[in-house]
């Protein structure tokens, strides 16, 4: 409903360059030209966390990840128009843009995606109220439609965390420690995220399927690692993660 209203109120022009969108593209938010300007994240990269040009020796970003968390990949570098697009999704109330961001993520390779379940990284409840939606959930649903994979809200955020910007990777890990747990783990994991079906239960076998965490941005991977840790504790066999953007990590050394 909200999306239909957005579409009526907004002129069909590209959010980023204001070029008019063709009739065919009128459901889009970002035009082809702007989307082609997004810079794909490419190898060589750390095989596990997907961070290009890992330093020699052990990769600092993924060394402390839980064992079940096998791999993370991001579609594009978070600069220029890609940053503006994420900003519009997060703070501009423009959830329709999730579809354009998901389109950039379709080619990401994760193991056993054909049997995977997509798991959005949850937001603190206060943030969802403020924003009206969880941007990662919108992104997961848009990607799920393209990959034809179901989305399950397996996780909840147990507390809000301070903004991660300007924290070192180690401080980020401490900041998000214990921030996630399985949804209603004690009473059978009821999935409140299924619209119109609040009694839908997530079968415990969900944890035996490959799980793919979905988030908007990968910065140091601390948030994803913590979400993966909650799944790992609950008994998940294999967890991977995909994000739309990858932030250029400041040099902490
Ligand atoms: Zn444009
Ligand atoms: Zn790594």
pLDDT tens for residues 58-106?
Answer: 788 899 899 999 999 999 999 989 999 999 999 888 889 999 999 999 9
Check residue 22 and report its DSSP letter: P
- 212-236: pLDDT as tens digits: 999 999 988 999 999 999 999 999 9
d(CA 89, CA 131): 10
CA of 32 to the centre of ligand 1 (A): 7
Question: Residue 127: exposed, middle, or buried by beta-carbon count in 10 A (0-12, 13-18, 19+)?
Answer: middle
CA of 219 to the centre of ligand 2 (A): 12
CA of 168 to the centre of ligand 2 (A): 16
pLDDT interval class at 23 (50, 70, 90): confident
Q: pLDDT at residue 191 above 60?
A: no
Q: In percent, how much of the chain has pLDDT > 70?
A: 83
Higher-pLDDT residue of 119 and 250 is 119
CA of 120 to the centre of ligand 1 (A): 28
CA of 125 to the centre of ligand 2 (A): 31
CA of 44 to the centre of ligand 2 (A): 12
Closest to 212 in 3D by CA, of 161, 145, 150, 162: 150
Q: pLDDT at residue 3 above 80?
A: no
Task: Say if CB 99 and CB 105 are below 8 A apart.
Answer: no
d(CA 13, CA 46): 38
Give the angle 121-163-104 at the CA atoms, nearest 5°: 45
Task: Say if CB 117 and CB 155 are below 8 A apart.
Answer: no
d(CA 157, CA 223): 11
Nearest ligand to the CA of 25 is 1
CA of 45 to the centre of ligand 2 (A): 8
What does the block give as tokens for 8?
């009526």
- The predicted model scores a pTM of 0.87
Nearest ligand to the CA of 100 is 1
Nearest ligand to the CA of 21 is 1
CA of 37 to the centre of ligand 1 (A): 9
Nearest ligand to the CA of 54 is 2
pLDDT interval class at 192 (50, 70, 90): very low
């Amino acid at each position: 409903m909200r999306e239909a209203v957005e579409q009526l109120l907004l002129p069909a022009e590209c959010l980023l360059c204001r070029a008019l969108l063709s009739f065919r593209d009128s459901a889009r938010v970002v035009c082809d030209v702007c989307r082609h300007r997004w810079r794909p994240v490419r190898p060589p990269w750390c095989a596990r966390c997907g961070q290009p040009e890992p330093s020699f020796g052990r990769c600092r970003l993924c060394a402390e990840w839980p064992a079940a968390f096998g791999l993370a990949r991001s579609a594009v570098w978070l600069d220029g128009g890609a940053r503006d697009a994420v900003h519009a999704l997060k703070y501009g109330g423009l959830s329709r843009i999730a579809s354009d961001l998901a389109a950039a993520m379709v080619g990401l390779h994760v193991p056993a995606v054909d049997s995977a379940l997509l798991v959005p990284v949850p937001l603190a409840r206060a943030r969802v109220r403020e924003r009206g939606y969880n941007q990662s959930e919108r992104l997961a649903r848009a990607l799920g439609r393209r990959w034809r994979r179901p989305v399950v809200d397996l996780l909840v955020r147990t507390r809000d965390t301070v903004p991660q910007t300007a924290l070192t990777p180690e401080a980020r890990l401490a900041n998000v420690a214990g921030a996630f747990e399985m949804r209603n783990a004690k009473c059978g994991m009821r999935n409140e995220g299924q619209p119109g079906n609040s009694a839908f239960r997530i079968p415990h076998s969900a944890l035996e399927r490959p799980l793919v965490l979905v988030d908007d941005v990968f910065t140091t991977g601390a948030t994803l690692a913590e979400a993966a840790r909650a799944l790992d504790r609950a008994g998940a066999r294999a967890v991977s993660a995909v994000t739309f953007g990858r932030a250029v990590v400041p040099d902490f050394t």
